């Protein structure tokens, strides 16, 4: 019994509700993949993302992404990571369609830690990709370059790989989602029309130079 006189359900009931929610999300994910044939999306759960700010958890509730607890699960997927040596480009579309796209769901402070980078590079191996210059629209880092939320990173990668409908679906789950696509529209279109990682990097340098001139 709580202090307000409202009975508190036993722990086993809470566990059942959590289990049911998890099964429901898994079912939505299966239906989503089979019916719409969209790119599979994954997030490595590092366990330190703020529950109320976690964009991955919101996407998971809609059955749009699968959280995993081992980097080994993502060795074949396109894994987005800022220190990757290769920029994401449309040339990666085939890997994404076959193996999916993944993000590391943790704080930026942890991502910037050398130990985290070493662990990711060692564990993920082959298909690490870095997103090019883009500007965040999420409430926490609005207007900051490169510091995207997991949902923004996923949507950006989908857009660049030609999956614009899927990208818009991801962003539609957030009040600020449309702002991200609108704010970065010109850059996203340019990256999506590039032929290689090298061209994406050249475009990135062009946009960054433009940004410095505006300032």
The 3-class SS string of the chain reads CCCCCCCCCCHHHHHHHHHHHHHHHHHHHHHHHHHHCCCCEEEEECCCCCCCCCHHHHHHHCCCCEEECCHHHHCCCEEECCCCCCECCHHHHHHHHHHCEEEEECCHHHHCCHHHHHHHHHHHHHHEEECCCCECCCCCCCCCECCCCHHHHHHHHHHHCCCHHHHHHHHCCCCCHHHHHHHHHHHHHHHHCCCCHHHHHHHHHHHHHHHHHHC
Checking if the pLDDT of 146 tops 50, the result is yes
Between 155 and 32, whose confidence is greater? 155
Q: Which of 9-18, 30-39, 79-88 has the highest mean pLDDT?
A: 79-88
Per-residue pLDDT tens for 151-189? 999 999 999 999 999 999 999 999 999 999 999 999 999
- Alpha-carbon gap, residue 185 to 140, rounded angstroms: 20
Per-residue pLDDT tens for 33-47? 555 568 999 998 877
Domain range summary for the chain, segments of one domain joined by +: 11-214
Q: Is the pTM of this model over 0.75?
A: yes
User: What residues are paired with 66 via a beta bridge?
Assistant: 42
């Amino acid at each position: 019994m709580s202090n307000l006189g409202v009975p508190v359900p036993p722990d086993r009931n809470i566990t059942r509700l959590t289990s049911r929610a998890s099964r429901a999300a898994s079912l939505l994910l299966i239906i989503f993949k089979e019916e719409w044939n969209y790119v599979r999306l994954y997030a490595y759960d590092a366990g330190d993302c703020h529950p109320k700010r976690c964009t991955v958890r919101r996407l998971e509730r809609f059955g749009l992404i699968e959280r995993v607890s081992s980097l080994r699960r993502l060795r074949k997927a396109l894994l987005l990571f800022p220190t990757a040596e290769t920029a994401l480009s449309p040339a990666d579309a085939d890997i994404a369609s076959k193996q999916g796209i993944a993000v590391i769901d943790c704080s930026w402070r942890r991502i910037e830690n050398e130990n985290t980078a070493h662990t990711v590079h060692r564990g993920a191996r082959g298909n690490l990709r870095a997103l090019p210059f883009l500007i965040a629209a999420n409430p926490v880092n609005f207007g900051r370059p490169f510091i995207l939320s997991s949902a923004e990173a996923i949507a950006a990668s989908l857009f660049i790989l030609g999956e614009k409908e899927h990208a818009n679906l991801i962003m539609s789950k957030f009040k600020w989602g449309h702002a991200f696509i609108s704010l970065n529209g010109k850059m996203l279109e340019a990256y999506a029309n590039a032929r290689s990682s090298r061209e994406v990097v050249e475009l990135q340098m062009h946009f960054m130079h433009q940004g410095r001139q505006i300032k």
